[in-house]
């Protein structure tokens, strides 16, 4: 038999123990030996997620929907897998920007704007109120059950007078306790180590007590789970709970609850508080990522056994399944176990209430009240650290009593879990602005603002108003027939969406409105400069080495002393001096009171302040002491942005150049390849030509020699003629071979040059004489226009003569027989002497004019279509002339025929010096 004072004494002692733990942790933290700086305490503190909802409500939900209680824990399990990607980024952003709450995060991301911070705070307070009221209701109900169960006086539903209402006193105690834990001093910038240690301990207690009840029920009331479940066939009501068919809303509900809890684990204000603000080291995440799901698994293992056992033992349904955790031990007479369980439930509830109210009061203070207060000029000049504390304490009390008010309002009409889901849907509205904000630079303030507002309105309409309606504050017809009887405006089936249960359709419509507006408006609105800077700072948090995002923005100038006294008004003089001295020390500078602070110091002060009063308020305060243009881009900022941009441009330009070079090189290679192929082809042709040319004289030499050898009766005349032919053919052979050797020598640069002073006229004359026989044979007329005075040159006489002879013999060969006409001319100008050989042959096609000088190249289709000569003469000539730094070319002659010309530079005054290193530019 439990007396009321037993329970009260146990509760007060337990809370006292918690407070002792908190004090101990605080002391250790002050001494620099933190007890919470390890991943295990971190994990246990995250388990503040498991509230009275889990402790009592899960069993209740399992008793009515079977597995329907599980998505609330499966969602966080899944989400935890993504923490290293998502949460680590949020933690890093928050640490660098000294962010202390969700409202602060969103306000800071969207341009340190007070209005959006205020809106987030409003949503958070209104949204979390039902959740806190759930805890109050759970604690007071459990207390009633414990006191009255044995006397069979289950409290009658209905609202007793306030001073008789347990929930009222629970609220009062919780408020005092939260104030003691969360707002002992104003250093709200820093973490609440004591609070974290206490809630970690509470997490341990609730896991142990719940498991104790579970083990007792499963193994002592029944002999193991198999025994427990084997009774199911006896109770036809239990059968459906084994399946998911009893789930209201079916699989869509399951999915939407999974989604809601995934968002809730990150964005419930208290989860944000323990996960982000109280995080000591982001590496602790790695352990928490699997330890926290493990905690969830453990605390849920006995939910089903307890629920089933409860349904079997209280088949009449007169006991609220939400209280099975207490009533099962009580009915067995295990009062101590029941008291133990009550303390576990108390742990779950107080943990949630403390962290949630502390988080909410920070938001209310920093993002709702301060921005308004700071607009009052008089207040700006006063020491505000006391005011801050008062605001926070006041808001804790206000929040708790609003929640109490909500409990009385809603009364008994809702189960625990349904109340909680209303809050989950509200905080899910924070997910789009935070997640889009952390990963998409384009998300703009207007977008976030309109998305949040729309999501919140949808939530109010579809979940909050129906709660009021069902408790009689609004006409019942509002739910059943829609406002003013408009059927498609019914809150639970908005726009006639009848497939979903109320929560799922609220999630769907609010997310639809929230994300749709966030993305849509962001795409159509421009961000101002501070918004852009913050967006970059948030999204690229892992890319920037510096933490000075705001250094982009010059804020004008301020005196160091002004900044110091401003900060001191909020966080106290001692801490301010400590912080400023630390700043000066790390930068290696000395801070003098009467000098102008640089942009970095201004930004440092702002960040210091934002830890105490939030980013938006801090910005307003700092602006009050900073003179000059606010929010203009600083030169430094502009230069840095320019620097980055120009670097990118430079990279891309370099890339372009490289690719162009590559293209050019490829083209060159292709050309070279083409040329090589052509040369290869020419060589093949040449080889076949040469062998043909060599074979022709050889064949005739051999044929005539054989005739001479085998035919003794041959006449003398015949013999002579044959021998003549043999000699001629041998000469031809020799000539050919000489040519090849010549060319090879020139090519290999092995030839010996003998430059000497000669009269070019004489050289040409001699060449004409040695070819005169040819002219006669072919009956070609020769015209010569030679100067009457000597033309002195320094050349290799034999080689030049070879060139002239080659040109002459070519001319003769290509002239028509009998009426051929060849003209040879020497003409001079100031720098050069030219020798010209013109014929009246068929001429040379335009496209051949360049290539005719290439070796192995032969003109075809002349007279008999057979190439004449060796195809080497002109190639050799060209090399000889080029060796003498001259030029050789061919031109067409009007009326047919070709003109070959070579010109040689006149020797310089010192005639002795011959041509030196030959320019081999024309070598193929």
Partner 1 sequence: MPTTRPKNEKIIALFFLGLLGFNYPLLALFSRNSLIFGIPFLYLYLFVLWTLFIGFIALLLEKNSPPPPPLAGKKSTRPSGK
Among 15, 44, 46, 74, binds partner 1 (CB under 8 A): 74
Does position 652 interact with partner 1 (CB under 8 A)? The reply is no
Among 290, 495, 499, 512, binds partner 1 (CB under 8 A): 290
Does position 649 interact with partner 1 (CB under 8 A)? The reply is no
Does position 230 interact with partner 1 (CB under 8 A)? The reply is yes
Among 542, 590, 713, 748, binds partner 1 (CB under 8 A): 542
Q: Rounded distance, CA 195 to CA 395, Å?
A: 18
Which tokens hold the place of 22?
Answer: 């908190």
Does position 280 interact with partner 1 (CB under 8 A)? The reply is no
Does position 293 interact with partner 1 (CB under 8 A)? The reply is yes
Among 544, 677, 860, 885, binds partner 1 (CB under 8 A): 544
Q: Rounded distance, CA 548 to CA 556, Å?
A: 16
Among 9, 12, 17, 82, binds partner 1 (CB under 8 A): 82
In Å, what is the CA distance from 803 to each residue of 168, 768, 835, 875, 914? 124, 12, 10, 10, 18
Does position 464 interact with partner 1 (CB under 8 A)? The reply is no
CB–CB of 418/65 below 8 Å? no
Does position 545 interact with partner 1 (CB under 8 A)? The reply is yes
Which residue lies nearer to partner 1 by CB, 281 or 656?
Answer: 281
Q: How far is the CB of 79 from partner 1 (least distance, A)?
A: 8
Does position 543 interact with partner 1 (CB under 8 A)? The reply is yes
SS3 639: helix
Ramachandran angles phi, psi of 238, nearest 5°: -80, -30
Q: Rounded distance, CA 155 to CA 148, Å?
A: 7
Does position 254 interact with partner 1 (CB under 8 A)? The reply is yes
Q: How far is the CB of 281 from partner 1 (least distance, A)?
A: 8
Region from 282-290, 744-752, 757-765, 837-845 binding partner 1, contact rule CB under 8 A: 282-290
Report DSSP state, residue 857.
Answer: -
CB–CB of 201/24 below 8 Å? no
Q: How far is the CB of 589 from partner 1 (least distance, A)?
A: 13
Which residue lies nearer to partner 1 by CB, 80 or 407?
Answer: 80
Among 281, 383, 487, 671, binds partner 1 (CB under 8 A): 281
What is the distance between the terminal CA atoms of the chain, rounded to a whole angstrom? 115
Which residue lies nearer to partner 1 by CB, 302 or 902?
Answer: 302
Q: How far is the CB of 446 from partner 1 (least distance, A)?
A: 30
Which tokens hold the place of 470?
Answer: 């069902």
Sequence-distant contacts of 649-656: CB under 8 A, at least 24 apart: none
Region from 45-53, 227-235, 891-899, 910-918 binding partner 1, contact rule CB under 8 A: 227-235
Which residue lies nearer to partner 1 by CB, 99 or 365?
Answer: 99
Which residue lies nearer to partner 1 by CB, 105 or 308?
Answer: 308
Q: How far is the CB of 571 from partner 1 (least distance, A)?
A: 24
Does position 78 interact with partner 1 (CB under 8 A)? The reply is yes
What number of other Cβ atoms are within 10 A of residue 154's Cβ?
16
- How many chain residues touch partner 1 (CB under 8 A)? 53
Q: How far is the CB of 290 from partner 1 (least distance, A)?
A: 4
Does position 646 interact with partner 1 (CB under 8 A)? The reply is no
Site for partner 1 in 196-225 (CB under 8 A): 224-225
Does position 229 interact with partner 1 (CB under 8 A)? The reply is yes
In Å, what is the CA distance from 868 to each residue of 802, 856, 857? 18, 12, 11
Which residue lies nearer to partner 1 by CB, 224 or 520?
Answer: 224
Residues 6 or more apart whose Cβ sits within 8 Å of residue 312:
231, 234, 235, 238
Which residue lies nearer to partner 1 by CB, 244 or 573?
Answer: 244
Does position 287 interact with partner 1 (CB under 8 A)? The reply is yes
E-strand stretches of 763-862: 780-785, 792-796, 820-828, 832-839
Q: Rounded distance, CA 263 to CA 274, Å?
A: 15
Angle CA(773)–CA(774)–CA(777) in degrees, nearest 5? 85
For residue 892, the cross-strand partners are 898
Q: How far is the CB of 746 from partner 1 (least distance, A)?
A: 58
Report DSSP state, residue 627.
Answer: B
Ramachandran angles phi, psi of 902, nearest 5°: -125, 145
Region from 3-11, 14-22, 75-83, 866-874 binding partner 1, contact rule CB under 8 A: 75-83
Among 244, 280, 489, 591, binds partner 1 (CB under 8 A): 244
Which residue lies nearer to partner 1 by CB, 82 or 655?
Answer: 82
Q: How far is the CB of 451 from partner 1 (least distance, A)?
A: 24
Which residue lies nearer to partner 1 by CB, 257 or 463?
Answer: 257
Region from 293-301, 452-460, 671-679, 855-863 binding partner 1, contact rule CB under 8 A: 293-301
β-pair type (832-839, 887-892): unpaired
Q: How far is the CB of 255 from partner 1 (least distance, A)?
A: 6
Does position 339 interact with partner 1 (CB under 8 A)? The reply is no
What number of other Cβ atoms are within 10 A of residue 34's Cβ?
17
CB–CB of 760/739 below 8 Å? no
Q: Rounded distance, CA 345 to CA 720, Å?
A: 138
Among 12, 162, 294, 475, binds partner 1 (CB under 8 A): 294
Among 372, 475, 577, 639, binds partner 1 (CB under 8 A): 639
Ramachandran angles phi, psi of 391, nearest 5°: -60, -45
Does position 299 interact with partner 1 (CB under 8 A)? The reply is no
CB–CB of 321/311 below 8 Å? yes
What number of other Cβ atoms are within 10 A of residue 215's Cβ?
13
For CA atoms 458, 464, 468, 471, the dihedral sign is: positive
Dmax over CA atoms of the chain, in Å, equals 162
SS3 488: helix
For residue 838, the cross-strand partners are 823, 899
Counting every residue written for the chain, the total comes to 924
Among 164, 226, 498, 917, binds partner 1 (CB under 8 A): 226
Does position 674 interact with partner 1 (CB under 8 A)? The reply is no
Q: Rounded distance, CA 169 to CA 136, Å?
A: 9
Among 2, 21, 70, 266, binds partner 1 (CB under 8 A): 70
Among 172, 208, 301, 633, binds partner 1 (CB under 8 A): 301
Does position 41 interact with partner 1 (CB under 8 A)? The reply is no
CB–CB of 901/836 below 8 Å? yes
Site for partner 1 in 304-323 (CB under 8 A): 304
Does position 282 interact with partner 1 (CB under 8 A)? The reply is yes
Among 5, 251, 484, 789, binds partner 1 (CB under 8 A): 251
Which residue lies nearer to partner 1 by CB, 307 or 449?
Answer: 307
CB–CB of 220/43 below 8 Å? no
Q: Rounded distance, CA 417 to CA 763, Å?
A: 119
CB–CB of 260/508 below 8 Å? no
Report DSSP state, residue 155.
Answer: P
SS3 643: helix
Which tokens hold the place of 512?
Answer: 């639809």
Which residue lies nearer to partner 1 by CB, 473 or 499?
Answer: 499
Region from 294-302, 469-477, 602-610, 755-763 binding partner 1, contact rule CB under 8 A: 294-302
Stretch 563-602: interaction string toward partner 1, x if CB under 8 A: -------------------------------------x--
Interface with partner 1 by CB under 8 A: which residues?
66-67, 70-71, 74, 77-78, 80-82, 84-85, 224-227, 229-230, 232, 239-240, 242-245, 251, 254-255, 258, 281-283, 286-287, 289-290, 293-294, 297, 301, 304, 542-546, 548, 551, 600, 636, 639-640, 643
């Amino acid at each position: 038999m439990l007396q009321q004072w037993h329970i009260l004494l146990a509760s007060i002692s337990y809370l006292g123990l918690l407070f002792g733990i908190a004090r101990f942790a605080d002391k250790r933290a002050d001494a620099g030996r933190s007890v919470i700086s390890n991943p295990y305490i971190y994990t246990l503190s995250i388990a503040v997620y498991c509230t009275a909802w889990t402790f009592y409500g899960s069993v209740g939900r399992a008793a009515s929907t079977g597995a329907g209680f599980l998505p609330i824990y499966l969602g966080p399990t899944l989400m935890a897998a993504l923490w290293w990607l998502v949460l680590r980024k949020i933690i890093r952003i928050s640490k660098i920007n000294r962010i202390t709450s969700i409202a602060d995060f969103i306000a800071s991301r969207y341009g340190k704007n007070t209005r959006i911070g205020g809106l987030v705070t409003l949503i958070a307070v209104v949204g979390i109120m039902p959740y806190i009221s759930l805890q109050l209701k759970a604690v007071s109900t459990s207390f009633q059950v414990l006191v009255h169960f044995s006397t069979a006086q289950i409290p009658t539903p209905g609202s007793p007078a306030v001073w008789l209402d347990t929930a009222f006193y629970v609220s009062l105690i919780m408020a005092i306790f939260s104030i003691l834990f969360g707002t002992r001093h104003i250093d709200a910038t820093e973490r609440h180590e004591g609070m974290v240690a206490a809630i970690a301990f509470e997490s341990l207690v609730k896991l142990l007590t719940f498991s104790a009840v579970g083990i007792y029920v499963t193994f002592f009331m029944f002999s193991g789970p198999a025994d427990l479940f084997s009774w199911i066939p006896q109770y036809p009501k239990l059968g459906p709970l084994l399946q998911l068919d009893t789930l209201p809303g079916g699989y869509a509900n399951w999915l939407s609850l999974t989604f809601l809890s995934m968002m809730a684990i990150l964005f419930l204000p208290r989860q944000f508080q323990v996960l982000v603000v109280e995080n000591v080291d982001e590496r602790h995440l790695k352990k928490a990522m699997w330890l926290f799901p493990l905690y969830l698994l453990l605390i849920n293992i006995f939910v089903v056994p307890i629920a089933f056992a409860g349904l079997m033992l209280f088949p009449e349904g007169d006991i609220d399944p939400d209280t099975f955790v207490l009533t099962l031990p009580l009915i067995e007479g295990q009062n101590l176990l029941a008291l133990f369980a009550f303390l576990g439930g108390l742990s779950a509830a107080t943990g949630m209430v403390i962290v949630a109210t502390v988080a909410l009061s920070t938001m209310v203070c920093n993002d709702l009240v301060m921005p308004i207060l700071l607009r009052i000029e008089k207040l700006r000049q006063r020491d505000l650290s006391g005011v801050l504390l008062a605001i926070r304490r006041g808001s804790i009390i206000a929040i708790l009593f609003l929640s109490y008010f909500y409990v009385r309002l809603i009364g008994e009409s809702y189960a625990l879990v349904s109340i909680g889901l209303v809050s989950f849907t509200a905080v899910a509205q924070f997910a789009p602005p935070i997640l889009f904000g952390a990963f998409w630079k384009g998300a703009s303030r207007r977008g976030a603002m309109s998305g949040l507002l729309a999501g919140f309105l949808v939530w109010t309409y579809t979940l909050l108003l129906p709660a009021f309606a069902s408790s009689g504050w609004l006409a019942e017809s509002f739910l059943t027939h829609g406002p003013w009887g408009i059927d498609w405006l019914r809150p639970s089936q908005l726009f006639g969406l009848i497939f979903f249960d109320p929560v799922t359709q609220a999630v769907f419509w609010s997310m639809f409105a929230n994300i749709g507006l966030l993305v849509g408006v962001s795409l159509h609105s421009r961000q101002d400069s501070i918004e852009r800077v913050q967006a970059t700072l948030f999204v690229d948090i892992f890319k920037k080495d510096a933490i000075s995002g705001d250094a982009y923005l010059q804020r004008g100038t301020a005196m160091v002393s002004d900044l110091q006294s401003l900060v001191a008004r909020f966080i106290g003089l001692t801490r301010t001096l400590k912080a400023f001295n630390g700043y000066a020390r790390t930068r290696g500078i000395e801070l003098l009171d009467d000098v102008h602070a640089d942009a970095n110091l201004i930004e440092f002060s702002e960040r210091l302040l934002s830890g105490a009063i939030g980013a938006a308020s801090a910005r307003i305060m700092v602006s009050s002491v900073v003179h000059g243009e606010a929010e203009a881009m600083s030169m430094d900022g502009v230069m840095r942005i320019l620097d980055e941009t120009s670097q990118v441009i430079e990279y891309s330009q370099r890339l372009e150049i490289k690719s162009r070079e590559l293209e050019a090189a490829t083209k060159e290679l292709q050309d070279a390849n083409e040329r090589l192929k052509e040369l290869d082809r020419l060589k093949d042709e040449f080889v076949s030509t040469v062998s043909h040319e060599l074979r022709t004289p050889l064949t005739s030499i051999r044929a005539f020699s054989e005739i001479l050898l085998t035919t003794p009766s041959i006449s003398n005349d015949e013999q002579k003629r044959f021998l003549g032919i043999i000699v001629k053919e041998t000469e031809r052979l020799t000539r050919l071979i000489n040519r090849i050797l010549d060319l090879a020598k020139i090519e290999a640069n092995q030839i010996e040059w003998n430059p000497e002073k000669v009269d070019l006229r004489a050289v040409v004359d001699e060449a004409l004489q040695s070819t005169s026989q040819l002219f006669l044979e072919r009956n070609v007329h020769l015209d010569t226009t030679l100067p009457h005075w000597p033309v002195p040159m320094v050349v290799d006489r034999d080689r030049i003569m070879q060139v002239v002879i080659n040109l002459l013999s070519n001319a003769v060969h290509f002239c028509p027989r009998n009426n051929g006409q060849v003209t040879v001319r020497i003409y001079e100008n100031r720098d050069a002497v030219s020798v010209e050989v013109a014929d009246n042959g068929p001429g040379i096609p335009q496209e051949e004019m360049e290539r005719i000088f290439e070796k192995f190249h032969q003109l075809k289709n002349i007279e008999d279509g057979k190439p004449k000569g060796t195809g080497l003469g002109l190639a050799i000539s060209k090399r000889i002339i080029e060796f003498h730094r001259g030029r050789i070319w061919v031109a067409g002659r009007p009326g047919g025929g070709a003109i070959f010309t070579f010109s040689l530079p006149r020797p310089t005054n010192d005639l002795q010096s011959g041509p030196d290193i030959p320019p081999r530019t024309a070598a193929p």
